[in-house]
Amino acid sequence: MQNQRLSPSRILEGLLFLLFVISPFYIKSSIGGTGFDLPFNISVWFAATLVIGFMLWHVASSDTITLPKNYLYLLMLPAGILLSAVIAGVVDPVTWLFRILYILAGVIFLFGLFQFKSLSVEQVLFFIVVSGLFVSIYGVVEIHQWQDFIGDWLPRSNDNLPTTIFQQVNVTASYLATAILIAIYLLFTQSANTKKLIQSLLYSTIILATYVLVSSGSRTGLLSLGLGLIFLLLGLLKSVIEHKAKFSTVIVILLLASWAGQAGFNRTADKTYKLVNAENSEARVVIYHAALDSIQSSPLVGHGIGSYKKEWLAHSPDWYEDYSTVDMPYTLGHPHNELLMWAIEGGMLAVVGILIALISTIWFIARFYGLTSLAYFSLLLPISMHTMLELPFYISSLHWFVWLFLIFVTLRNIVIDKNNQLSQMARFSIRGLSLIVGLVSSLFLLQTALAQKDIIDFVYGRTTEQPLQRALINPYFQAEARDMANRSVLYYAIENGDKQKIMQLLSQFQQELDMNPDLKLFEDVINGYEAIKDQEKSCFVAKCALKIYPWNGGLEKYIATCSRK
């Protein structure tokens, strides 16, 4: 009994509970964004580091290695991306490094799951449902603005929208849609002697998550949930017919929860109207045209990881004359479609690798499970669909690990065993490496959390003895912190009339603009020249900026004043 309780699979279940249920709820104020800009991603990666480290340790101790039968096809995804990344070169070293580590960690996590044959998949799926329940409760608090009753330690959202830990409505919606589908899946596949408490939590999650999802007005969430329900019910048709009372209960719950959150349908209808409205649909057209232009200029290996923003600025102005009245974002970091993103940054090498992995997974699952495969596809649908419309993996690392776990769920019965032919030295090295990587990663994540706090304190004007000091030595936040520090020095010099310091900073900023034509940097340079009364140069810089940011009305207005100066 003791050995079973402390078996590797039980330990992994505990670590996955930490990953899916505990770590996402490191709730701190932030300025929004992606990656480690959002504090919960830091704690998620801390838990993921423990999980991956334990997986590597276990592999080094095992006599066999279990792999999905399509493992060679799955490996085409990281292989294609890594190959294109090496050939295309390094555009942004920090982005390149973290993106590669993100993918490699995901590969180890996915393949590591197959090594734990007695892992209770249903229990871990239940963990994800519980996580969805907690997110739903947070969403209810935001919708009704109940922070006044529980304290301001929970950040408030704008317009009473449930942004929750993810600080973005659609990311919340796709996560809740996934949790709802998993809860329904468990209701129809669990054994008859499942505890009443677990069943109650499953029903509670369906109720609250549906209410929050509908209230959010997220088209992405509602559409993926609707399609997912159709796939799930078709895949579990036999079980649904056998449990008609349970099916009726689920339908009634979904309808009642949807009715309670019906105000969200008005937002959904409004968003749908805007989507088909010419101006809003044309914005997508510009994004896709610019993306295709970028792909055509380097179709095989792409432009390198981290190059999208630069490519957007290079190609989007070409479409200004045809779409000058469209309300476009001034800058863009992602084309809101993951395949397009990798086609631009990784070229056909990356895209072909992704498609091989995707198609092989669909093929193996469909052949093995038949009609039941639709139930498994339904669990993957919300997050997968979301990647084709936005950038959930960049905003939420939790989505990444949940999605990978669901892929494991679909493939866990389609496996082959191979002898572990690692030498004793290799096994010892892997164990040592797992400890070193775990320790280094934990220290880095701790320092990153402190650096993120530095950024927040600086933005909100909280007095500290050494502002941005920890952020300035952090690899992830260093560039952002340096820009903030330089900008602060510039405006301090402007306020105090320090012309020499202004000229020194302007020279530095001009050099940076050649490498990084950032809109905020253009604004700083223009304001700097304005401060020293060099209007000729300020107008020249503004005209250069408008060529790159043609939809910027503020620049147009400023240039219009140049002729009168």
- Domains delineated in the chain: 120-263 (no CATH), 477-562 (1.25.40)
> In whole angstroms, what is the distance from residue 259 CA to residue 262 CA?
5
Q: How confident is the model at residue 267 (pLDDT cuts 50, 70, 90)?
A: low
Percent of the chain with pLDDT over 90: 58
Helix, strand, coil proportions of the chain in percent (round to 5)? 75, 0, 20
Determine which of 64-78, 128-142, 275-289, 445-459 has the lowest per-residue pLDDT on average: 275-289
> In whole angstroms, what is the distance from residue 448 CA to residue 450 CA?
5
> In whole angstroms, what is the distance from residue 45 CA to residue 47 CA?
5
Is the overall model pTM greater than 0.85, yes or no? yes
Amino acid at 533: K
- pLDDT value for 178: 98
Q: Compute how many other C-beta atoms are within 10 angstroms of the C-beta atom of residue 160.
A: 12
- pLDDT value for 459: 85
Q: Is the pLDDT of residue 348 over 50?
A: yes
User: At how many degrees (to 10) do helices 93-113 and 39-61 cross?
Assistant: 50
Amino acid at 353: G
- Give residues with Cβ within 8 angstroms of 234, minimum separation 6: 371, 374, 375
Question: pLDDT for 315-346, tens place per residue?
Answer: 888 888 788 777 777 778 889 899 999 999 99
Contact 396, 171 (CB under 8 A): yes
> In whole angstroms, what is the distance from residue 224 CA to residue 245 CA?
25
Determine which of 5-19, 88-102, 212-226, 254-268 has the lowest per-residue pLDDT on average: 254-268
- pLDDT value for 71: 95
- pLDDT value for 2: 45
- pLDDT value for 273: 43
Smallest CA-to-CA distance from 288 within 245, 248, 344 is with 344
Determine which of 32-41, 153-162, 546-555 has the lowest per-residue pLDDT on average: 153-162
Q: Which helix (H) or strand (E) holds 418?
A: strand 415-419
Q: Is the pLDDT of residue 10 over 90?
A: yes
Write out the two tokens for 548: 């790159």
Q: How confident is the model at residue 212 (pLDDT cuts 50, 70, 90)?
A: very high
Q: Is the pLDDT of residue 163 over 80?
A: yes
Q: Is the pLDDT of residue 277 over 50?
A: no
Write out the two tokens for 73: 């096809």
CA angle 279, 283, 287 (to 5 degrees): 165
Mean pLDDT value of segment 98-112: 94
- pLDDT value for 205: 96
Residue 298 gets the label, from left (phi > 0), alpha (psi -120 to 50) or beta, of beta
* φ/ψ of residue 415, rounded to 5: -130, 165
Q: Is the pLDDT of residue 236 over 70?
A: yes
- pLDDT value for 462: 75
What does 164-228 look like in DSSP terms, one character per residue? Answer: GGGTSHHHHHHHHHHHHHHHHHHHHHS-TT--HHHHHHHHHHHHHHHHHHHHHT-HHHHHHHHHH
Contact 433, 56 (CB under 8 A): yes
Torsion of Cα atoms, 333 then 337 then 339 then 344, to 10°: -30
Mean pLDDT value of segment 508-536: 89
Write out the two tokens for 441: 């990663």
CA angle 120, 129, 56 (to 5 degrees): 45
> In whole angstroms, what is the distance from residue 6 CA to residue 381 CA?
34
Question: pLDDT for 13-71, tens place per residue?
Answer: 999 999 999 999 988 877 778 889 889 999 999 999 999 999 999 999 888 999 999 99
Determine which of 32-36, 382-386, 528-532, 546-550 has the lowest per-residue pLDDT on average: 32-36
- pLDDT value for 565: 56
Q: What is the mean pLDDT of the chain?
A: 89
**3-state SS class at 263:** helix
Determine which of 166-175, 265-274, 408-417 has the lowest per-residue pLDDT on average: 265-274
> In whole angstroms, what is the distance from residue 23 CA to residue 19 CA?
5
State how far Cα 237 lies from the chain centre.
Answer: 33
Write out the two tokens for 466: 């050494």
Mean pLDDT value of segment 457-475: 84
Q: Is the pLDDT of residue 127 over 60?
A: yes
User: In 316-391, which ranges are continuous DSSP H helix?
Assistant: 338-369, 373-387
Q: Is the pLDDT of residue 447 over 70?
A: yes
Smallest CA-to-CA distance from 48 within 394, 473, 404 is with 404
- pLDDT value for 440: 93
- pLDDT value for 403: 98
